[in-house]
Structure 1
């Protein structure tokens, strides 16, 4: 959710020494032109000091009390107050957030790091996502290839098995939710960060991990390196997963790309570049792939001859006897000219737009992925509501 949408809405709270009674903040939320169902919203709150681990947030509104969460903001000393709202189209509601010292919420997100291999995000003990970051530091490209780029897995509703691809034939470079381009250097070579034959993406370090009752968020710095290991560009990748009442996944994939080798051309084609979701390779079996079906906005179609800047695409696929629905949403502030590749029967789909990455001007890409396990295919109206939440979120005003 773009922070700048709310930068004009600030409240100053002092939590250096909380009084015996709770600190309350009043917030006004306008639904706008769409129904809102468990929609993430947030408001920047400037704090003169970081709140302790024993600070809890409860937000009361028309639907009763729901948990809130304070997460670090974009600037030093700032925090975002996050919670979920459900409102009808055109409705305006007042919420009161109560911030006080108290016991942690019963159901929360939590990270578990398997050092050197992967970072799991759990909700109430159930695995939701897994960020794969293992790297094989070997001069042999074939030995390095299996771990040549980080990616995110999604688990099934029980949190037992991943429903995204770990690689494997016939497309071993397809891995979970991932980002890749062909990157052309000024007056120089082109490196293929999609197939990663002789270059790679490697985790440098994690810069943020925030987990609570509303969301789990991690930020990782990823170096896109040339064959000599020198960074061509640096990616700041932030993955945020929001709480939902059902075991569904609502995930924001935000990447800020910064050049390290002058003005770069980021290209490729809709089949082999961009932000992509790849279902588990078993979806490509003869039995499963016949059940793969796509959904698009009315009167729009994917592909190079299709609709440019199509806002979203969705798919239903079958795996291990269960049906899964995935919506891929392309934020309107992303570079223009985006093309959706969304027709493969093995459920690899996503959005791609060629772009120029100037040496002094980073580019931020924003996508949202929604996943559920259900026999019912997503309708156009359902996906459009999800897109409205992402592209045109409710307006939040801090009144106190």
Structure 2
């Protein structure tokens, strides 16, 4: 397809090198990894090789890597596993998270509260969307002495780009005896995934966010963490995640992660320069506009804005008609006409919260494309404001 694709936080294209690595496992080495014959052994070898490759990038042991269908499943495993342990042993379960998490965390947290009686504590965020450490410390006080507690905070926010202070938050959680999980789905290729340095007990990844296949992901589970899988069946993934292995997807995930991590320095440098060009251009050309998220400590290819008195859904249609693919936030919330909860959480007023725009660049984004966006966007915002004014 032609056009300018600036929605890389929603998904990325499949890298041709990843596809090449995957193809034999669709047509030649297609055995079930649990089978004892040569076809099964070939698949098992490929999966274990992929596991070792991912473990090297995460600085963990191979058996701490669990392959899943993506970030949402990994987030669910992270929250439901400790909750099931607490329920099995009749112990109270406390879950601490923030108002700016991905819906796979926030919706699961609410369900655990409503169905299992989990104590759900929400910590506030600052103007950039980072977890408030004082609020987190307060939430960690007075935990039940015989209970299970989990803190789940996103590593880098996919809607407004801010990198969270994960290592600090993890250390604070451990100080009070709580487990720590981070949804790191937006981070590969941009920030370190070293789980030892981060202090994460659990971590979630999704392959399609770093030029790998859709329907494949990673769940890191630190050795020694009590965990009871919510998905039962055969002995796949050491009984921690049942279901026939997606061998092509697993192979592709490992290759994609290797490529993302190995090219990280060059990627960060190039995308940061494009982002700065875009941010400066938008803020100087569009009145009543503001950058959302941290100005510098953010995903390198991520530029997010709020425009006063603008309906983002109409703005996105205008941009699409001009061949520019963008979004107003998480793809999982597309079509929601309510004020953006993310923008409300960082303190923006009602005149701003319907006017969010996310422009996220990737490996193939060019400077010429950014220049085109800077030509089109100011006119589009002006047109949308006129439509909005007529509807009032």
Task: Compute the TM-score of the two structures, normalised by the length of structure 2.
Answer: 0.24
Give the number of the structure whose residues are more often helix, by fraction: 2
Q: Which has the higher contact order (CA 8 A, sep 6+)?
A: 2
TM-score normalised by L of structure 1: 0.24
Higher strand share: 1
